[in-house]
């Protein structure tokens, strides 16, 4: 199981993950992210800088969280990622969805997708 830690950071919540994000870790990851979103005023910053493995189930959780955040006028930003996580985001073309630029678009009142 991964180690998932959350902490407030101003009007956002940071969720840092260490270990492997796979199907077995999905429920804990999803629960931590949803709780972080509920506790934040503007969104969630996800730190994947210590993730050793990341599969599509974790990516689906992040995409689902992003959709939920957008309906609330919030954003989800990946602030750090290991090469493993970066590769998944690059291969799927989803990296830009979780960039600071995407968050700025949301903050400026861009329509959710």
* pLDDT tens digit sequence for 76-98: 999 999 999 999 999 999 999 99
* pLDDT tens digit sequence for 36-47: 999 999 999 999
> Rounded to whole angstroms, how far apart are CA atoms 44 and 6?
10
| Cβ–Cβ < 8 Å for 54, 21 | yes
**pLDDT confidence band for 113 (50 / 70 / 90):** very low
pLDDT at 9 exceeding the cut of 70: yes
What pLDDT does 100 receive? Answer: 82
The 3-state DSSP class for residue 112 equals coil
Mean pLDDT of the chain: 92
| Cβ–Cβ < 8 Å for 23, 57 | yes
């Amino acid at each position: 199981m991964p180690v998932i830690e959350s902490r407030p950071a101003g009007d956002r919540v940071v969720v840092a993950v260490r270990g492997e994000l796979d199907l077995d870790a999905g429920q804990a990851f999803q629960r931590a992210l949803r709780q972080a979103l509920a506790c934040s005023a503007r969104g969630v910053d996800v730190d994947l800088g210590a993730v050793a493995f990341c599969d599509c189930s974790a990516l689906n959780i992040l995409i689902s969280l992003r959709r939920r955040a957008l309906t609330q006028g919030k954003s989800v930003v990946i602030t750090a990622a290991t090469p493993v996580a970066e590769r998944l985001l690059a291969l799927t073309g989803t990296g830009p969805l979780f960039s600071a630029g995407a968050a700025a678009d949301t903050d400026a009142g861009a329509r959710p997708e």
